[in-house]
Amino acid sequence: MSADAKDTRVLFLGPNNMRNATASDFPQQSKAVTEMGAEFVVYDGESDGELIEALKDTDVAMAAGHGISPDLFVHMGNNGRCKGLVSFGHGYDGMDLDAAVENGVVLANTASFGTEEVSNQTMMHFLVCSRKFVLHDKLVKNGTWTRDHLAPMGHINGQTFGIIGLGDIGRTVARKAQAFGMKVIGYDPFVSSWDAKEYGVEMVGTPQEIAKRSDYVSPHTYLTPKTRHMIGTEFLGLMKPTAYLINCSRGPVVDEKALIEALQQGKIAGAGLDVFEQEPIDPKNPLLKMDNVSVTNHYASYSEVAWSRANTQLGEEAMRVALGYWPMSLINPDVRSTVEPRNWAVSWEVMLAEQGK
């Protein structure tokens, strides 16, 4: 399956009120499209009916700040000209993967753009927790200079860092934890022990073993029905009372009620959180009042460099889908069984060469 780039139309679904916008208003998102000589069209409609009509005349859609109902999948994939949808960001918990597979719609995102940023945020929370920074920062700023609250203090070197999910971010966190002299163990049912060996990670058979053995636990998994509340009462009950939970993945991966109870009862030592079950977080949430909990407002993936890369990657993935390649960040792999064969995903430089650009 292949297409001619010069006859290709890419529909950009940005924020609302996009009247009279053109590719020049979105230089990063349109970069790959214009490099290939394809047409970049900014959607300016407001209703599902208008969007359905726009999809009839496009090869792939890109969503950045514009919600798209899974009901529209019946007009895409095997049912129309538009073969896929590429969404900005890492997560895909708002997507109906089954509906996309049924209709042959290829779904992709821009995963990996913020790998360094999320892993850095994870390590920041890890260090803040291990050194009890939240409490001591508060004490000093309130005029209290004391050493009464030092113990227990994390030694770090030689301790165990447990990772759930060894994707791009999980592997990067593993490398950075090893730089601190830590032993890294991991749970990921989709990664073999011999592959993990290349990353210096000891694989374990269950999440419960991660809970029992780790001094720091850090999930790096997508939010799916299987991962929702993966870390709950049972998991937290197995953790060491001196252990910390770090979460820079998705809020609902952790049962927040169970986490609050575990912290209040001293079952674990503390937590570092960038994500929450309810966002924005309720100002009355007990987590915000705890001196052993560090919090940030779901910005782990952000830096100017990462954001630029994500927007550029959005266009690159769109062109892969439009020209008959698989995207690098395919999020519904089961669609391979419902669509015509495609070319394997290749790097952008190789794509340019293959297309004679």
Could you give the residue numbers annotated as active site?
Answer: 250, 279, 298
* 8 A C-beta contact, residue 52 and residue 28: no
Residue among 145, 177, 147 nearest 162 (CA): 177
Structure tokens that stand for 22 in this block: 């053109």
Structure tokens at 265: 């009862």
Give the integer Cα–Cα distance in Å for 218 and 126: 9
Q: How far is Cα 266 from Cα 114, in angstroms, rounded to an integer?
A: 33
Helix (H) or strand (E) holding 28: helix 27-35
Residue reference for tokens 């910390």: 244
Of 165, 202, 20, 4, give the one whose Cα is nearest residue 90: 165
Q: Measuring CA to CA, which residue among 247, 258, 257 is closest to residue 121? A: 247
- For 178, the 3-state DSSP assignment is helix
Residue 218 CA to residue 223 CA, distance in Å, equals 14
Measured distance CA(346)–CA(325) in Å, rounded: 8
How many Å apart are CA 181 and CA 112, to the nearest integer? Answer: 25
List all residues 6 or more positions away from 325 whose beta carbon is below 8 Å from its beta carbon: 342, 343, 344, 345, 346, 351
Which residue, 109, 32, 170, 167, is CA-closest to 330?
109
Locus of tokens 């791009």: 168
Which of 64, 62, 65, 110 is closest to 83 using CA atoms? 62
